[in-house]
């Protein structure tokens, strides 16, 4: 049973991945164009913060406390910065649906304006990492794929796998796949360290290097199947399964045909 | 066994059943045609292979169900070859099955054991020949021969001596010296404590001095992981605590089990996990092993800052890094 | 005589006058081979080996087995400008610049996996049917040797491209060498020409991979086949088949065509896999760097069980008189595999010691008729399977939303608990199947037709089975347990009493079976 479902996963992983990737790229563009706006005036800004506070009190305060101080089940949000809020809420991880080992990505609950308001409110209480602007995220121009690959393999591959497919952590936690994640969210994850992920500070991995990593991830995401079905890009496990199922299956099938007497 | 019990009898080889193609000329012709068609499919496969090799450019990609966005050159080259080979096989087997004689025949076996006569003859021949050589009598020759044959076995072992140097204390040394700066990998930039916020990690190597380039042999022992916690989170002995700097702790990144790079740091649990065999190390308790096959904590590197405020090693590692070996503690 | 016959005759005459081959060839062209799909599993391994030689030779034309550092400027953009070894760079060159190179690389790797899988299923066939029994013990041992060499050869091939995954594998191999008591670090420095990874290892294992081991393979495979040829193939029991004969098809022409055709089938299937499924995409792994590692670093499947054992090992090291012994590496990495492979090699001798059977056997056993052996086989496979599953525990954990700690604890317990359970269950199943065979012979096949008796009772009509099938189901021997006395004829306890007792116990367990039906039983039923 196990074998079959892994195989199914590997066989259908590539088209599925492609659909997910296309969808994600689509979302990225719509999000990017929507947030592309000029500097807000002071008045607009305070209105946005007030709106964010309302959303926070309604949707977040029961876990994170009325003053963002946190509680037993949720961390304090003081000083986490707008980037953290944008990542958690923008990828749908927050508000959380079920308190399992790991909070998974899902369809966002708040729209972009609400997310921006929440981020503005949290950032207004204490300074923290800022949401990277559109100009900061020009990875196509400022990144270097090969250098990004080296950085990825040194800093990211041990959790997220050599091709960014994700991997297991302890006690049921996992590093999610980085395929199809918006560049902004990848960047925010590196500077804020969501959940089990550590922080990759700007001095140890410079912003330019972060863009290289993003550029490499996007290259890996868009890399066509150079040698046929990718088998999930998880290494020799799925290759072994394919040999024992399809490979030996075909060969033994032919052997049975060979040895049956013709009528 | 009693004679009354009677085993079920072997009815003997069943009569041969003829195939359709043996008696029916129409079926025979049909089988012949099928074989020919299979051979022809193989020929088409070879043509496809040649076509793909010469005429399908290597940078053409197209969407193929199940496989995804696939390289046309590689796919059709392979499918052509697979077709060419597989259908030769299919044709030959189909030919053998339908048209070649398929009557089962019986061959008799012979026991492996030789006749007594031959065995006796062999024994006496060996005895006689050995006697002629005087192997039994000439004990001086026998012993000296034993000595020389035994000794010559040593020469290949001796010859292999120059395969490599003796390890000496090489396994116990790394490039870290007192005062060596920690620099980022990759990038080779020195780091100040303020560069790392709480929850941050950094992959570091010793700063290169004079050496023009870094060798993999060095990285294999020198790689270090920096982690910043809140100082109050440490549960360290006073000595080990003095090896940290302002919440920053440094461990060898080379697993104490089998040498993989241990760098899966979980900010929430403060555990380090090795992806190869899942040894789990608890960072606040000096990377003590809490799960998995590793028997030792990761070696900790004592760090501090220099006059310019950059992180440096206080002293070399106090124990060998990486997997265990026999003379590790000496 | 046609012209063609004249030419053939001239050539045959020319060869025979110089070799005297006519007699030998004549005799062997009519050599008889029994036909059964399970007899083709070894052929899959043989043909994969030939495919490996062909595709491997192609790869050597471009592969540069050197750890010399180069800067990549080939056509794969995401790696351009990086420092890497010439071995890795030439592997990329084969993959992207040599037309058909990637296909051949993939065929080579797929056929290596098929080679090992075919060896394992072939071994299972030989084991479960008792084909290893006298006179075939030598061939069994050669087979175990080929399996062991195959694992080594495969690992070396996996290591050659010097990508991140293969480098991680070599690092682990180095740790195993280093863990050998007393001489470990010396052996490691000799193997690597100094510190790990050094520059000597890749060229050295290249010679071993393409010359030394293939040479030994060729020699062993030749002997393996010659023995099969000389001893004649085993056959399944059936009507007309005895220990003294072999029933099948003559080599020429049908068997030759089938075996030759099957080579092309195996090559074709391998090429198909090479065409449609990516294997070992080294360009994604990146060049080896000891400071890097990927999540889910696994060996190929035939080493996976070994990695699984290492993963589940408890964290034990001892420090005696200042010397370190890494039991956490030695036990799973060397001791357990050593015991397993030695036990496997010695199994034919162990079994014949237990049964006291020193006769030649050419008729195969149906696995159900030898419950103990079958159960032992399933038990060993269960052990291996648990180890293999743990070798992929991280992939399993993420795929099935489990935790690696759970999978690990499951394996740690299951490796001790499941194999004995598998033994017991398998033995029960075998005995049930024997019982079912007995029922079938005695009462015939259930037809599904119901018949109403005059007094209203319904009975199902049973159809007697054919004499051929009845013979097939009862052709096996049911030897009684060895009668071993603890005391000899004069009432003196025998030396080695414990050994004798053990042998007696095992012999009794081995003889446990459901009595096969006899003519007497059948007659008795008729009377009712």
Listed range (B44-48, C337-341, C466-470) with the worst mean pLDDT:
C466-470
Nearest chain C residue to A227 by CA distance is: C278
Nearest to C295 among A159, A229, A254 (CB): A159
**What average pLDDT does range A156-178 have in this prediction?**
92
Least confident of A4-18, B150-164, C125-139, C187-201: A4-18
The reply to whether residue A235 touches residue C106, judged by beta carbons under 8 angstroms, is no
Residue C392, number of CB atoms within 10 A of its CB? 26
Among C283, C307, C331, residue at a domain's last position:
C307
Give the whole-angstrom CA distance, residue A132 versus residue B66: 37
CA distance A35 to chain C (A): 30
Minimal Cα–Cα distance from A18 to chain C, Å?
17
A114 and A137 housed in the same domain: no
Question: How many Å apart are CA C373 and CA C353, to the nearest integer?
Answer: 13
On chain A, the residues whose CB falls within 8 A of the CB of C404 are 168-170
Whether residue A161 is found in the same domain as residue A217? yes
Give the Cα-Cα-Cα angle C268, A253, B28 (nearest 5 degrees): 85
Q: What is the pLDDT of residues B307-317, one digit of tens each?
A: 999 999 999 99
pLDDT at C318: 93
**pLDDT of C372 over the 70 cut:** yes
* Beta bridge partners of residue C385, listed in sequence order: none
Same domain, C300 and C449: no
Average pLDDT, chain C: 93
- Distances B50 to B54, C205, C213, C278, C513 between C-alpha atoms, Å: 6, 35, 34, 22, 61
Q: How far is A204 from chain B (nearest CA, A)?
A: 6
Distance CA C315, CA C409 (A): 14
Confidence of residue A3 (pLDDT cuts 50, 70, 90): very low
Q: Whole-angstrom Cα distance, residue C450 to residue C459? A: 6
Q: Which of A158, A196, A202 sits opposite B267 (nearest CB)?
A: A196
Judging contacts by C-beta atoms under 8 Å, the chain C residues touching residue B78 are: 103, 106, 271-272, 274-276
Residues C50 and C194 in one domain: yes
> B71 vs A225: CB contact, 8 Å cut-off?
yes
Hey, is the C-beta of A181 within 8 angstroms of any chain C C-beta? no
Do A145 and A182 reside in the same domain of the chain? yes
CB contact under 8 A, C284 and A162: yes
Q: Does some domain include residue C224?
A: yes
Query: Residue A72 is part of a domain; what is its CATH number?
Result: 1.10.760.10
Report helix angle B25-55 to B72-98, nearest 10: 160
A147-150 LR contacts (CB < 8 Å, sep 24+): A147/A209, A147/A212, A147/B186, A147/C81, A148/A209, A148/A211, A148/A212, A148/A213, A148/A214, A148/A215, A148/A216, A148/A217, A148/A219, A149/A216, A149/C78, A149/C79, A149/C82, A149/C286, A150/B186, A150/C82, A150/C286
pLDDT in tens, C217-250: 999 999 999 999 999 999 999 999 999 999 999 9
Closest Cβ–Cβ partner in A150, A168, A236 for C298: A236
Select from A84, A169, A207 the residue whose CB has the most chain B CBs within 10 Å, as the one to mutate to test that interface. A169
Q: Which of A93-107, B241-255, C32-46, C58-72 has the lowest mean pLDDT?
A: A93-107
Contact state of A169 with B19 under an 8 Å Cβ cutoff: no
Residue A120 lies in a domain: yes
Residue C10: pLDDT band with limits 50, 70, 90 = very high
- In chain A, how many domains are there? 2
B32-37 mean pLDDT: 96
Query: Please, are residues C507 and C521 in contact by the beta-carbon 8 Å criterion?
Result: no
pLDDT bucket at C185, cuts 50 / 70 / 90? very high
- C456 has a chain B CB within 8 A of its CB: no
Helices vs. strands in chain C: H and E counts, helices first: 21, 8
Q: Is residue C187 a part of any domain in this protein?
A: yes
SS3 B304: strand
Residue B124: both structure tokens together: 């006496």
Read off the CATH number of the domain in which C186 is found: 1.20.810.10
Among B295, B297, B277, B161, residue whose Cα is nearest residue C179: B295
CA distances from B173 to B204, B257, B318, C373 (A): 17, 18, 9, 53
Put simply, the answer to whether A230 touches C297 (Cβ < 8 Å) is: no
| Confidence check: pLDDT of B134 > 80 | no
With respect to residue C390, please indicate whether it lies within any of the assigned structural domains: no
Judge if A82 and A148 occupy the same domain: no
Please answer whether residues B247 and B235 qualify as being in contact, where contact means their C-beta atoms are separated by less than 8 angstroms: no
Residue A7 has pLDDT above 50, yes or no: no
Between the CA atoms of C255, C258, C260 and C262, what dihedral angle is there, to the nearest 10 degrees? Answer: -140
How far A224 CA lies from chain B's nearest CA (Å)?
5
Q: How far apart are CA A173 and CA A178, in angstroms?
A: 15
Whether the per-residue pLDDT at C481 is higher than 80: the answer is yes
pLDDT of C488 higher than 70:
no
- Are residues C225 and C87 located together in one domain of the fold? yes
Kindly report, residue by residue over A106-154, the tens digit of the pLDDT: 888 899 889 999 999 998 888 888 899 888 899 988 899 999 999 999 9
Q: Distance between CA atoms of C174 and A207, rounded to whole angstroms? A: 38
- Token pair belonging to B40: 């022809």
**DSSP class of B24:** -
pLDDT for B284-303, tens place per residue?
Answer: 999 999 999 999 999 999 99
Arithmetic mean of pLDDT, A240-261: 95
Q: Is the pLDDT of residue C383 over 50?
A: yes
Q: Which of B78, B266, B280 sits opposite A196 (nearest CB)?
A: B266
Give counts: helices (H), strands (E), chain B.
8, 14
Query: Looking at the domain assignment, is residue A229 inside a domain?
Result: no
Instruction: For residues C440 and C303, state if they share a domain.
Output: no
Nearest to A15 among B68, B197, B278 (CB): B68
Where are the alpha helices (H) located in C160-212, listed in sequence order?
164-179, 184-192, 201-207
What's the mean per-residue pLDDT of chain B?
Answer: 91
Q: Does A14 fall in a domain?
A: no
Q: Is residue A182's pLDDT more than 60?
A: yes
Q: Residues C294, C431: one domain?
A: no
pLDDT at B211: 66
A13 domain residue, yes or no: no
Judged by a CB distance cut-off of 8 A, whether residue C117 touches chain A is yes
**pLDDT tens digits along C14-37:** 999 999 999 988 888 889 999 999
Distance separating the N- and C-terminal Cα atoms of chain A: 36
Residues in contact with C264: Cβ distance below 8 Å, sequence separation at least 6, in sequence order: B85, B86, B88, B89, B92
Q: What domain range is C501 assigned to? A: 427-527
Give the Cα separation of A246 and A223 in Å (integer): 25
Taking only the tens place, the pLDDT of each residue in B234-274 is 999 999 999 999 999 999 999 999 999 998 999 989 999 99
Going by pLDDT thresholds of 50, 70 and 90, the confidence category of residue A41 is: confident
Closest CA to C222 of C50, C29, C22, C361: C50
pLDDT recorded at residue C497:
73
What are the φ/ψ torsions at residue C146 (nearest 5 degrees)?
A: -65, -40
Pairwise CB contact (< 8 Å): B68 & A197: no
Span C346-361, pLDDT tens digits: 999 999 999 999 999 9
> Are C116 and C257 in a shared domain?
yes
The total number of structural domains that make up chain C:
2
Query: What whole-number distance in Å separates Cα of residue C382 and Cα of residue C418?
Result: 7
Q: Which residues of B touch A169 (CB under 8 A)?
A: 264, 266, 273
The verdict on a CB contact (< 8 Å) between C297 and B275 is yes
- Here the tokens at position B122 are 């062999």
CB of B79 closer than 8 Å to CB of B110 = no
On the question of pLDDT at C44 being above 80, the answer is yes
Choosing from C247, C274, C307, the residue where a domain stops is C307
Determine, for residues B71 and A226 on separate chains, whether the beta-carbon distance falls below 8 Å.
Answer: yes
The maximal CA–CA distance of chain A, rounded, in angstroms, is 90
Closest chain C residue to the Cα of B53, Cα to Cα = C99
Nearest to A162 among C41, C294, C395 (CB): C294
Same domain, C444 and C302: no
What single string gives the DSSP state of each residue in C319-352? EETTEEE-HHHHIIIIIHHHHHHHHHHHHHHHHH
Residue C343 CB neighbours (<10 A): 11
Domain membership flag for residue C416: no
pLDDT at A21: 52
Structure tokens at B131: 């006697």
Residue A51 belongs to a domain? yes
Of residues C51, C65, C480, the one with CA closest to residue C262: C51
For residue B283, give how far its alpha carbon lies from the nearest alpha carbon of chain A (Å). 13
Q: Which residues constitute the domain of residue A118?
A: 37-129
Three-state SS for C375?
A: helix
pLDDT at position C175: 95
The enclosing H or E element of A75 equals none
Q: What is the mean pLDDT of residues C474-496?
A: 77
Q: Is C410 within 8 Å of chain A by CB?
A: no
B176-205 tens-digit pLDDT: 999 999 999 888 899 999 999 889 999 999
On chain C, the residues whose CB falls within 8 A of the CB of B92 are 257-258, 260-261, 264
Which ipTM value was assigned to this complex?
0.93
Q: Which residue(s) pair with B282 in the sheet?
A: B271, B288
Say whether A236 and C294 touch across the interface (CB within 8 A).
no
Helix (H, G, I), strand (E, B) or coil at B213: coil
Half-sphere exposure of C439 (CA within 13 A, CB side): 9
pLDDT surpasses 70 at A14: no
Q: Confidence band (pLDDT; 50, 70, 90) for A94?
A: confident
CB C79 within 8 A of CB C283: yes
| pLDDT band at C487; cut points 50, 70, 90 | low
Residue A27 falls within a domain, yes or no?
A: no
The predicted structure's pLDDT at residue B2: 44
Whether C513 contacts C370, CB under 8 Å: no
Show which of A110, A129, A148 is a domain's final residue.
Answer: A129
For residues B312 and B181, the answer to whether their CB atoms sit within 8 Å is yes
Q: How many residues does chain A have?
A: 263
B71–A224 C-beta distance less than 8 A: yes
**pLDDT band for position B209 (cuts 50, 70, 90):** confident
State the pLDDT at residue B214. Answer: 86
**Which residues fall within 8 angstroms of residue C527, CB to CB, at 6 or more apart?**
none
pLDDT tens, position by position, C301-344: 999 999 999 999 999 999 999 899 999 999 999 999 999 999 99
User: C135 preceded by cis ω (within 30°)?
Assistant: yes
Dist. CA C190–CA C195, nearest whole Å:
9
The alpha-helical segments, DSSP class H, found in chain B are: 20-23, 25-55, 72-98, 116-133, 139-152, 154-159, 216-222, 238-242
Interface contact B107-C32, CB threshold 8 A: yes
**Can you list the positions of beta strands (E) in C381-527?**
445-452, 458-463
Residue C486's pLDDT is what? 66
Q: Does A9 score more than 80 pLDDT?
A: no
User: Can you tell me the mean pLDDT for C478-489?
Assistant: 77
Query: Which residues of chain C neighbour A251 with C-beta distances below 8 Å?
Result: 44, 114, 118, 265-266, 269
Sheet hosting strand B300-301, strand order edge to edge: B182-184, B201-206, B224-228, B248-252, B300-301
Q: Is the CB of B292 less than 8 angstroms away from the CB of C315?
A: yes
Query: Is residue B261 classed as helix, strand or coil in its secondary structure?
Result: strand
Q: Is residue C40 part of a domain?
A: yes
Distance CA C308, CA B201 (A): 29
Q: Which residue, of C307, C337, C371, is where some domain finishes?
A: C307
Cα C302 to Cα B46, C391, C495, distances in angstroms: 33, 10, 44
| Domain match, A72 and A109 both | yes
Contact A259 C40 (CB under 8 A): yes
Indicate if A196 and A208 belong to the same structural domain.
Answer: yes
Q: 3-state secondary structure string, C9-35?
A: HHHHHHHHHHHCCHHHHHHHHCCEECC
Residue C131 DSSP one-character state:
T
pLDDT: is B283 or A103 the higher one?
Answer: B283
* Whole-number pLDDT of residue A1: 38
Provide the pLDDT confidence category of residue B118 given band limits of 50, 70 and 90: very high
CA distance B130 to chain A (A): 52
């Amino acid at each position: 049973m196990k074998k079959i479902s892994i195989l199914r996963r590997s066989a259908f992983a590539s088209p599925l991945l492609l659909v997910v990737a296309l969808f994600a790229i689509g979302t990225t563009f719509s999000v990017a164009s929507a947030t592309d706006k000029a500097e807000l005036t002071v008045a607009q800004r305070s209105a946005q913060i007030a709106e964010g506070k309302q959303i926070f009190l309604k949707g977040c305060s029961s876990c994170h406390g009325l003053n963002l101080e946190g509680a037993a089940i949720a961390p304090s949000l003081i000083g986490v910065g707008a980037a953290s809020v944008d990542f958690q809420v923008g990828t749908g991880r927050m508000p959380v649906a079920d308190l399992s080992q790991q909070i998974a990505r899902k369809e966002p609950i708040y729209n972009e304006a609400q997310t921006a308001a929440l981020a503005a409110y949290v950032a207004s209480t204490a300074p923290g990492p800022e949401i990277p602007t559109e100009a900061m995220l020009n990875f196509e121009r400022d990144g270097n794929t090969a250098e990004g690959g080296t950085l990825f393999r040194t800093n990211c591959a041990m959790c997220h796998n050599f091709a960014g497919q994700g991997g297991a952590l302890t006690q049921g936690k996992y590093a999610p796949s980085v395929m199809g994640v918006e560049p902004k969210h990848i960047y925010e994850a590196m500077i804020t360290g969501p959940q089990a992920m550590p922080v990759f500070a700007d001095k140890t991995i410079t912003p330019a290097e972060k863009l290289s990593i993003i550029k490499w991830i996007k290259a890996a995401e868009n890399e066509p199947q150079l040698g046929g079905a990718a088998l999930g890009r998880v290494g020799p496990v799925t290759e072994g399964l394919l040999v024992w199922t399809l490979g030996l299956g075909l060969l033994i099938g032919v052997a049975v045909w060979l040895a049956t007497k013709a009528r | 066994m009693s004679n009354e019990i009677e085993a079920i009898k072997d009815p003997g080889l069943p009569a041969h059943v003829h195939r359709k193609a043996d008696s029916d000329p129409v079926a025979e012709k049909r089988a012949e045609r099928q074989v020919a068609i299979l051979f022809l499919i193989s020929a088409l496969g070879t043509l496809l292979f040649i076509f793909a090799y010469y005429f399908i450019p290597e940078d053409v990609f197209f969407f193929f169900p199940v496989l995804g966005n696939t390289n046309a050159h590689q796919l059709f080259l392979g499918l052509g070859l697979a077709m060419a080979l597989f259908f030769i096989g299919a044709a030959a087997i189909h030919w053998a099955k339908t048209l070649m004689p398929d009557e089962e025949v019986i061959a008799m076996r012979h026991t492996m054991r030789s006749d007594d006569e031959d065995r006796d003859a062999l024994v006496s021949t060996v005895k006689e020949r050995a006697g002629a050589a005087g192997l039994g009598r000439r004990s001086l020759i026998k012993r000296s021969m034993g000595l020389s044959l035994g000794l010559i076995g040593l020469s290949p072992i001796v010859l292999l001596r120059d395969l490599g140097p003796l390890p000496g204390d090489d396994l116990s040394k790394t490039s870290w010296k007192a005062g060596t700066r920690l620099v980022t990998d990759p990038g080779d930039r020195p780091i100040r404590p303020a560069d790392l916020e709480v929850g941050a990690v950094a992959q570091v190597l010793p700063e290169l001095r004079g050496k023009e380039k870094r060798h993999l042999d060095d990285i294999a022992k020198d790689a270090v992981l920096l982690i910043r916690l809140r100082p109050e989170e440490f549960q360290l002995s006073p000595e080990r605590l003095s090896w940290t700097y302002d919440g920053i702790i440094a461990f060898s990144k080379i697993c104490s089990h089998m040498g993989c790079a241990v760098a899966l740091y979980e900010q929430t649990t403060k555990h380090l996990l090795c992806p190869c065999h899942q040894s789990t190390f608890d960072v606040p308790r000096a990377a003590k092993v809490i799960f998995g096959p590793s028997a030792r904590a990761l070696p900790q590197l004592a760090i501090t800052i220099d006059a310019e405020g950059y992180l440096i090693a206080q002293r070399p590692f106090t124990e060998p890094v990486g997997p265990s070996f026999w003379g590790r503690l000496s | 005589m046609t012209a063609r016959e004249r030419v053939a005759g001239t050539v045959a005459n020319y060869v025979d006058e110089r070799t005297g081959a006519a007699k030998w060839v004549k005799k062997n062209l009519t050599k008889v081979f029994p036909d059964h799909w399970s007899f083709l599993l070894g052929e899959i391994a043989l043909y994969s080996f030939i495919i490996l030689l062909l595709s491997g030779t192609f790869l050597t034309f471009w592969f540069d087995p050197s750890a010399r550092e180069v800067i990549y400027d080939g056509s794969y953009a995401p790696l351009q400008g990086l420092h890497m070894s010439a071995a890795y760079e030439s592997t990329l060159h084969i993959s992207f610049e040599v037309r058909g190179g990637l296909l051949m690389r993939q065929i080579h790797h797929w056929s290596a996996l098929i080679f090992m899988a075919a060896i394992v299923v072939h071994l299972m066939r030989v084991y479960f049917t008792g084909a290893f029994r006298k006179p075939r013990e030598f061939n069994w041992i050669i087979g175990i040797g080929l399996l062991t060499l195959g694992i080594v050869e495969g690992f070396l091939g996996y290591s050659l491209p010097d990508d991140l995954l293969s480098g991680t594998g070599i690092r682990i191999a180095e740790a195993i060498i280093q863990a050998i008591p007393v001489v470990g670090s010396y052996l490691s420095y000799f193997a690597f020409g100094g510190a790990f990874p050094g520059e000597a290892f890749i060229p050295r294992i290249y010679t071993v991979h393409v010359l030394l081991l293939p040479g030994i393979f060729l020699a062993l495979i030749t002997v393996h086949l010659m023995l099969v040829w000389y001893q004649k193939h085993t056959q399944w029991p059936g009507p007309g088949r005895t220990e003294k004969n072999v029933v099948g098809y003559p080599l020429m022409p049908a068997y030759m065509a089938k075996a030759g055709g099957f080579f092309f089938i195996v090559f074709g299937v391998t090429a198909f896999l090479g065409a449609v499924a990516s294997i070992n995409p080294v360009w994604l792994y990146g060049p080896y760097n000891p400071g890097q590692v990927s999540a889910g670093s696994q060996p190929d499947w035939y080493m996976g069980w070994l990695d699984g054992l290492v993963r589940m090992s408890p964290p034990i090291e001892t420090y005696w008189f200042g010397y370190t012994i890494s039991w956490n590496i030695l036990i799973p990495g060397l001791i357990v595999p050593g015991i397993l492979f030695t036990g496997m090699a010695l199994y034919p001798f162990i079994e014949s010691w237990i049964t006291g059977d020193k006769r030649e056997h050419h008729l195969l056993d149906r696995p159900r008729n030898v419950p103990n052996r079958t159960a032992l086989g399933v038990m060993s496979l269960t052990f291996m399977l648990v180890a293999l599953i743990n070798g992929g525990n991280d992939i399993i954990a993420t795929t099935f939303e489990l935790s690696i700690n759970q999978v690990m604890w499951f394996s740690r317990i299951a490796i001790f608990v499941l194999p004995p359970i598998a033994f017991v269950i398998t033995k029960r199943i075998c005995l049930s199947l024997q019982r079912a065979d007995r029922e079938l012979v005695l009462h015939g096949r259930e037809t599904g037709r119901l018949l109403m008796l005059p007094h209203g009772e319904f009975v199902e009509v049973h159809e007697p089975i054919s004499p051929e099938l009845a013979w097939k189901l009862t052709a096996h021997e049911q030897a009684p347990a060895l009668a071993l006395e603890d005391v000899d004829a004069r009432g003196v306890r025998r030396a080695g009493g414990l050994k004798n007792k053990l042998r007696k116990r095992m012999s009794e367990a081995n003889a446990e079976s459901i009595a096969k039906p006899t003519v007497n039983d059948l007659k008795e039923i008729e009377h009712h």
